Amino acid sequence: MYKYPLIIKKIWLTPLRRSPQKEIVYRVEKRVNYKELFDRLKKIANALESIGVSKGTKIGVLVWNTLEYFEAYFAIPMMGAALHTINLRPSQNK
């Protein structure tokens, strides 16, 4: 059993403690380690907080599958807000 709930914010504790310098590779475009990525997530959360986003706020994300989306996928729930992915491609079925 864990001593804390398994929420996204807490899931980052293990790699930050055990291997903060271990590299994460996003395609061939970007390489960051866990510490650098977590710092980027905190910056995103702080920026969102500065414009009024708080726990329970719903945020629609309209972006391609990029590193920025990956960061939003973690940063938004970590601050207690809800991430809502918006499909870029309209449905062809009518």
Q: pTM surpassing 0.95?
A: no
How many Å apart are CA 67 and CA 89, to the nearest integer? Answer: 19
Q: Which two tokens stand for residue 18?
A: 């055990």
Each residue's pLDDT tens digit, 17-40: 999 999 988 877 788 999 999 999
Q: Which two tokens stand for residue 6?
A: 């398994």
Residue pair 12/24 in contact by the 8 Å Cβ criterion: no
Which of 50, 47, 22, 18 has its CA nearest to residue 37? 22
- Write down the mean pLDDT value for the chain: 86
Task: Sketch out the chain's domains with CATH numbers.
Answer: 8-85 (3.40.50.980)
Give the range among 20-29, 39-48, 51-60 with minimum mean pLDDT.
20-29
Average pLDDT estimate for 59-77: 90
> Is residue 42 over pLDDT 70?
yes
- pLDDT score for 2: 65
Q: What are the φ/ψ torsions at residue 39 (nearest 5 degrees)?
A: -60, -40
